[in-house]
């Protein structure tokens, strides 16, 4: 590519134009042998869907988009208007892309199968943290992309039920004070911030690394009475005082996985949604929440388990399966595991 006159002669008034998400994805793909451009195109479609959802989230209070629809989803949870909107946008944009043979969402009972051969499986939680919508809290979209083994085969449900270590790309959008797109295609984790005036995501957080240890923990302490002994002792341990290990830890909990995970990814520490007596398999969904987050944390040098086992090794048995989720700095996730193993004896 020939250099533009501007980049050849940078002067004091030359605008600094950063790397766009599109350029970043394209440069990664150009290095991949046999790349056809379909993956790049799929990620660009995802970015479009996220910008459309973001635009509606920003106007929700004015556009009559707050509140519930009166329906419940496959998980038995009350559905919000923005949940439905975000799901429809993603479904529509991904179907139009022509790259997804299977599209599965936390908000849909069954996956959507394409009629034409295509290479990818898309899994998403269209609007995570939706209980924060009405109070203007940070919410997001989480996704994972898998490559199909045989593009020509008729798409089948089993192709979505694959362990997280097979993920080709995962990421999330964060609709907070700024809109962020955090992405990994297996070459580290990179964050992009939306310039709302230009309508583009620009690289703002290159090569995110999760610190090996943090000083905060993030858990819904209101569930304490229902936790197992290991989790109770772990939480008490973090509240105990010990200068050498940085205790007591500070507590941070938004109740929005994208927001809690994003803070943990950047600052370190630990996020946990353990199993409890009410939710013996945990609350969060393996395919739409735990797997994409686990992929990102591992790519950033962090760790993600179900308390003991690596999340990315879990073999899903069903689409809407739940799992306990513990993620963050390696040292902190291992401390949690030690308390679980101790209680198991």
Binding site for ligand FDP (CB under 6 A): 128-131, 220, 255-257, 260, 273, 283-284, 289
CB 286 within 8 A of CB 273: no
Q: How far is the CB of 175 from ligand FDP (least distance, A)?
A: 13
Helices (H), 9-115: 21-30, 38-59, 81-97
Task: Give Cβ neighbours of residue 213 (< 8 Å, ≥ 6 apart).
Answer: 246, 268, 329, 330, 331, 332
Q: How far is the CB of 316 from ligand FDP (least distance, A)?
A: 16
Tokens (6 digits) for 11: 């002067």
Q: How far is the CB of 188 from ligand FDP (least distance, A)?
A: 24
Task: Name which of 23 and 71 has its Cβ closer to ligand FDP.
Answer: 71
| H or E stretch covering 260 | helix 257-267
User: Buried (b) or exposed (e) across 301-328, using 16+ Cβ within 10 A?
Assistant: ebbbbbbeeebbebebeebbbbbbbbbb
CB 45 within 8 A of CB 99: yes
Task: Name which of 23 and 277 has its Cβ closer to ligand FDP.
Answer: 277
Task: Give Cβ neighbours of residue 91 (< 8 Å, ≥ 6 apart).
Answer: 103, 105, 108, 112
Task: Name which of 34 and 177 has its Cβ closer to ligand FDP.
Answer: 177
Q: How far is the CB of 289 from ligand FDP (least distance, A)?
A: 6
Task: Name which of 43 and 86 has its Cβ closer to ligand FDP.
Answer: 86
Q: How far is the CB of 60 from ligand FDP (least distance, A)?
A: 15
Q: How far is the CB of 129 from ligand FDP (least distance, A)?
A: 4
Q: How far is the CB of 48 from ligand FDP (least distance, A)?
A: 24
Distances (CA, A) of 74 to 110, 112, 141, 151, 333: 9, 15, 18, 29, 31
Task: Name which of 42 and 79 has its Cβ closer to ligand FDP.
Answer: 79
Task: Name which of 97 and 141 has its Cβ closer to ligand FDP.
Answer: 141
Query: Strand, helix or coil at 60?
Result: coil
Task: Name which of 159 and 260 has its Cβ closer to ligand FDP.
Answer: 260
């Amino acid at each position: 590519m020939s250099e533009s006159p501007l980049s050849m002669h940078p002067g004091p008034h030359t605008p600094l134009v950063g790397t766009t998400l599109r350029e970043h994805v394209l440069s990664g793909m150009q290095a991949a042998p046999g790349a056809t451009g379909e993956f790049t195109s799929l990620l660009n479609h995802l970015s479009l869907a996220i910008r459309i959802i973001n635009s509606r989230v920003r106007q929700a209070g004015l556009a009559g988009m707050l509140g519930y629809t009166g329906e419940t989803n496959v998980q038995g949870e009350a559905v919000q208007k923005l949940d439905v909107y975000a799901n429809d946008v993603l479904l529509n944009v991904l179907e139009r892309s022509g790259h997804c043979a299977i599209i599965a969402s936390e908000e849909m009972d069954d996956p959507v199968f394409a009629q034409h051969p295509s290479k990818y499986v898309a899994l998403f939680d269209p609007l995570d943290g939706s209980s924060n919508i009405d109070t203007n809290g940070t919410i997001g979209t989480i996704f994972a992309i898998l490559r199909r083994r045989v593009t020509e085969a008729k798409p089948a449900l089993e192709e979505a039920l694959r362990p997280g270590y097979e993920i080709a790309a995962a990421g999330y959008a964060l609709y907070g004070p700024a809109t962020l797109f955090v992405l990994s295609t297996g070459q580290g984790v990179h964050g992009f911030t939306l310039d709302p005036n230009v309508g583009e995501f620009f690289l703002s957080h290159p090569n995110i690394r999760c610190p090996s240890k943090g000083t905060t923990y993030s858990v819904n302490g209101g569930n304490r009475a229902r936790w197992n002994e290991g989790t109770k002792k772990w939480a008490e341990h973090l509240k105990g005082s010990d200068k050498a290990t940085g205790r007591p830890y500070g507590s941070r909990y938004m109740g929005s996985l994208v927001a809690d995970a994003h803070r943990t990814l950047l600052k370190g520490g630990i996020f946990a949604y353990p199993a409890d007596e009410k939710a013996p398999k945990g609350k969060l969904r393996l395919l739409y929440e735990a797997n994409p987050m686990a992929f990102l944390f591992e790519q950033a040098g962090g760790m993600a388990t179900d308390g003991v086992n690596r999340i990315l090794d879990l073999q899903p048995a069903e689409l809407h399966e739940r799992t306990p989720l513990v993620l963050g700095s390696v040292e902190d996730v291992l401390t949690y595991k030690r308390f679980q193993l101790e209680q198991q004896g």
